[in-house]
Chain A
Amino acid sequence: MRVAKNITGHLNKTTSIAPLVVFRVLFGFIMLVSIVRFAAKGWIKSLYIDPQYYFTFYGFEWVKPLGPTGMYVVFALMGVAALMIMLGYKYRVAIVLFFLSFTYVELIDKTNYLNHYYFVSIISFLMIFLPAHRSFSLDVWLNPGMAVSRVPGWTIAVIRLQLAIVYLYAGAAKLNPDWLLEAMPLKIWLPANAHLPLIGPLLQYSATAYVFSWFGALYDLTVVFFLSYNRTRPFAYLAVVVFHLCTALLFQIGMFPYIMILATLIFFPARFHEKFIAALTGWWHKMVPGTPNNQVRPARDFNLNPKYAILVGAILVLHFTIQLLLPLRSKLYPGDLFWTEQGYRFSWRVMLMEKAGYAIFHVKDRKTNRQWEVQNWKFLTSNQEKMMATQPDMILQFAHYLQQHYRDQGLNDLQITVASYVTLNGKRSRLLIDPATDLTSIRDGFSHKDWVLPMNRSPKTATLYHPL
């Protein structure tokens, strides 16, 4: 009871709003940058307009892209929302809009699933409930009455907790034999960067891969603790910067390193964030002389309207219960997780495996006994084909799409099988799916996919293409 009381006391103890506000500004900023970058790379078109088929998530088949105009509008809204979050303008509307538009886009096609997109979705979800706009925002500037200077501890703790979950699960996932004992997949990924100046030559040594692997696991498992204590924080944050900049340099992982470098600032004490705000304010006054300074007011505490307190509390408890349990669901399935990927997504398994595949779909018309192979590229983008080839649920989805495609052409008694060759962490490719399984007879779901061959008992090749 005493512990529980301590925790509740800690969560309700008021603290400076500064860390929360700085987090809001930086989050809005980095999201705006990410969205502009995404658009500039032409990915709105290539990922959400060009494909003729989208791999929806199980249970979210109703999520559809909105066509060229619609998708550009969605991304424009998302960008505007990010800007509004940064500026703290109509914050509640902006954060809800951002969460919905971002999550909608992520749900369109699981081909594009990335852990850090998931991270952005849930952080923006949590931020809906946080008073992150009650200081240093346009909302406060326009309506000084809503300004507060102190918030209950839980508003900052939820973000720290979410970050802790991400790092700890990511670290725990690295505690596997391939990562620790074989230094895989870094042994493959690092030498690919051997052309880099200075560190390049080092990356060819397998010892370097071991150092990186062990350091990476240690980093993920400990960084949150070291960030939490005053004495270790500067070193821990330096490690954050070095670690994530290293990953940015070595791997094609986009904005993730920068998001984490900014997000982890939430572990710094209020004083740090107050200085940051003061610096920004000073800079603003220098740039725009004569702006009235209405930020000076007596300290005031934020208190959640008791009407909502229970609701918000319940949502947060539920959220974190799910967060804690969801990554563990893979334990419910037999077989090698990396191979079957049952319960792989939404579990902070980041950069853990080098997996590649090639799926050859065989179609047989039972009426005429004719058979042929599908040219996947006629239906899928190269990115979709690549992602599909290693993930059983996507292979099944595509088989069903093919079934529908041929049914539309009048072929309604088909057998569709797949020879899917997959290599995992540099091991020789093997068949992922039982090549004898007629995928048209399989339904998707959360139950164990027994048509996925166990990795160690899977044959190397299948001769499926019988002469006509």
Chain B
Amino acid sequence: MKTTQRLLTLLLIIAGLTSTSALGQKYIDTQGTIQFEASEELFEPVKATNNSVSMVADFSKNEIASLALMKGFRFKNSLMEEHFNENYIESETYPKAIFKGKLKDFDFSNWQDSTAMIMVEGTLTLHGEEKAVETPVTLTRDGDTIRLQGNFNVTPGDFAIEIPKIVRNKIAKEINIQLDFNLTEK
């Protein structure tokens, strides 16, 4: 009798554990897009896109993490891409950018609307430097997919990237970063 009871409790605990993990609300995108632009008028556009950025969002804890490989940024101009990798971002030494952050005041389980504007607070690490980032993002529900979009500005100085004088007027002081992720539950 006692053993049955124990077994039952054990089963209940296991059931409890599995159900909480099922409610983990982990959403993943492996093909997210990050585009950055630092173009100045009259000069050649300074712009690159990475189409294989990954993001993991845990809506039960309101945590998001994203990772972009520097070599994955493609420029129209191959020389610009080479300079980006070798002189500015130094992708051999610092191959990736990582963002870790939190969604502020978001209650995913009670989210009914089709869109929501959420503040994200976190740290962006690239080129060996960390920077605190606070930016609004838009969440849009599209069937099983949750689309996360947003954009924010950084400066090369934030990440100890020095722009040589000779090209300084061809590269904008502020770099705009655009995010576009389609998260699906995993």
Whether both chains belong to one complex is answered with no
